[in-house]
Structure 1
Amino acid sequence: MTDQEVSSIMAQPLPPALCFQPISASPPPEVDRETQRAADMRFAASLAEKVSLFNQQADRHIKKQELNPFSAASSRSGSRSPRPTFSKDQYGKPPPGSESEYRAIKGRISMNKDILELCEILNQEGELQIVDGMPVKVMCFRDVFQLYTVINDKVVGLLLRARKQGLVDFEGETLFQRRDDHVLIGLIKPIEEIRVIFRKHFDDLKEEERRNKEAAQSQVLQVPNY
């Protein structure tokens, strides 16, 4: 194709279907001034609130870093970390409202459920005997191990905790499979009394869990998303 033929093709007008017609833009709808002013004020208030919350979070972080001996901000400010103050009841316990405290409460609830379940098995499967004039449900360690290991593999630890709480009794400091298969495990309290004890434990732990959540909500500063 020669240059003259190409030029003649380029000079031909486009088909009507390919011709674009300009579209006139419709004017935006009119907004009432009072409505627009109210919307602007709401936006400004929301923005100011977000900025204030962000500044509070930043100030809290700066103060915390100044007291952190491993932070560069601490060395610049020269501040010394305050000595922790806590009561005798708080010693060795996680701070109120912390995730560590929440996990500890959940762990205690789970452990108490396991101990109660173990006592229920001893009551259902144990043989009734009279020991020192008191009715006691008794099972040998082998049977307890075979029954309860299907449910929980920490049966020895649970038996030790149950004995510490005065719910069961057996000879020896601990128990070993095969060596202590003949050792008798005695449920030394009526199951009704044990249920009442654990019901109170669960109520107390639920109250601790509620206080933990309230403390966590009061400590956490929630910054809304922009």
Structure 2
Amino acid sequence: MFSNSLDYESTDGGLVPKSVQFSSFRSGMDIKTVSNLRPRTNGLLDRVAQYNAKVQQTKEKQQSNPFSSEWELRKLKGAVADKSDPTYGRPPAGSLTEKRGLAAERHIQTEIIFLCETIYQYGERYEDGTAAIPFGELFSIYSNINNKLVGLLLRARKHHLLMFEGETLFQRRDDDVPVVLQISLDEIKRIFKRDDQDDKKEDSDSCNNNL
């Protein structure tokens, strides 16, 4: 008959055979070694803190987004932005939305400059550096290059770069309407170059403020 000759001692974990040399573990290992066996939680706490900070940052950004539910809550609390604020209706400085807007504006400026160059190149030139061309002729030249001619003309007129009669222009009906540059081509380029430099400086300042 099998005889169990092992002696046991009672521990928190249950009965443990005395013959197993646990004494060396209890007395032979220093406190530092034992502490290294404990799970480390500092890394986990750091990750949780970073996540919470990211959540808070996103929440603050959404509070300035009129399409966000956070903005609606802010609106109900009476914290709507003042319309007299110069930043009202504009994306946050340094944001991707602002950068995309500036890039789109520069692209439109390039198209307007090209439009004015086309008018000057193919139109009737004057001594003051301006030029004029009938809309029908401009349309036949430009329609093969860009299908947004009328939109560009309206935008250029809004900036007082050129002029034409009527609220807008239509092919065939307004073919004889002259489109006239109001300022010289060189001055138009200087205006847009100055605006582009101001936009780049503003973009750089926004990036530096976010560092």
TM-score range, shorter chain: 0.5 to 0.7
1:101 aligned partner: 98
1:197 aligned partner: 191
2:80 aligned partner: 84
1:193 deviates by 1.1
> Residues 140 and 181 of structure 1 are in contact (CA less than 8 Å); yes or no, is this contact kept in structure 2?
yes
Distance 1:44 1:207, change over 3 A: farther
Determine helix, strand or coil for the equivalent of 2:130: strand
**For each residue in 1:185-219, what CA deviation from the matched residue of structure 2 results, as whole angstroms up to 9, or x when unmatched?**
1112111111111111111222233345456x55x
**For each residue in 1:58-110, what CA deviation from the matched residue of structure 2 results, as whole angstroms up to 9, or x when unmatched?**
455678899x9957xx8xxxxx7451334531222222233332222122111
1:171 aligned partner: 165
1:165 deviates by 1.4
2:178 aligned partner: 184
Letter in structure 2 aligned against 1:170: F
1:113 deviates by 0.8
Determine helix, strand or coil for the equivalent of 2:139: helix
Distance 1:196 1:70, change over 3 A: closer
Letter in structure 1 aligned against 2:187: E
Letter in structure 2 aligned against 1:166: H
CA distance in structure 2 between the aligned counterparts of 1:160 and 1:62, rounded to whole angstroms: 39
User: TM-score under structure 1 normalisation?
Assistant: 0.59
Unpaired runs of 5+ residues, structure 1, are 1-42, 75-79, 219-226
Please say if 1:159 is aligned against 2:129.
no
**For each residue in 1:164-200, what CA deviation from the matched residue of structure 2 results, as whole angstroms up to 9, or x when unmatched?**
2121111111100110011111112111111111111
List aligned pairs for 1:140-155, cutoff 5 A.
140-155=134-149
Please say if 1:208 is aligned against 2:202.
yes
Aligned residue pairs total: 164
CA distance in structure 1 between the aligned counterparts of 2:129 and 2:163, rounded to whole angstroms: 13
Unpaired runs of 5+ residues, structure 2, are 1-39
1:122 aligned partner: 119
1:56 aligned partner: 53
> Residues 102 and 212 of structure 1 are in contact (CA less than 8 Å); yes or no, is this contact kept in structure 2?
no
CA distance in structure 2 between the aligned counterparts of 1:65 and 1:157, rounded to whole angstroms: 33
2:108 aligned partner: 111
Distance 1:180 1:108, change over 3 A: same
Determine helix, strand or coil for the equivalent of 1:186: strand
Identical amino acids, percent of aligned pairs: 36
CA distance in structure 2 between the aligned counterparts of 1:108 and 1:114, rounded to whole angstroms: 10
Distance 1:104 1:61, change over 3 A: closer
Distance 1:70 1:192, change over 3 A: closer
Distance 1:117 1:46, change over 3 A: farther
User: TM-score under structure 2 normalisation?
Assistant: 0.63
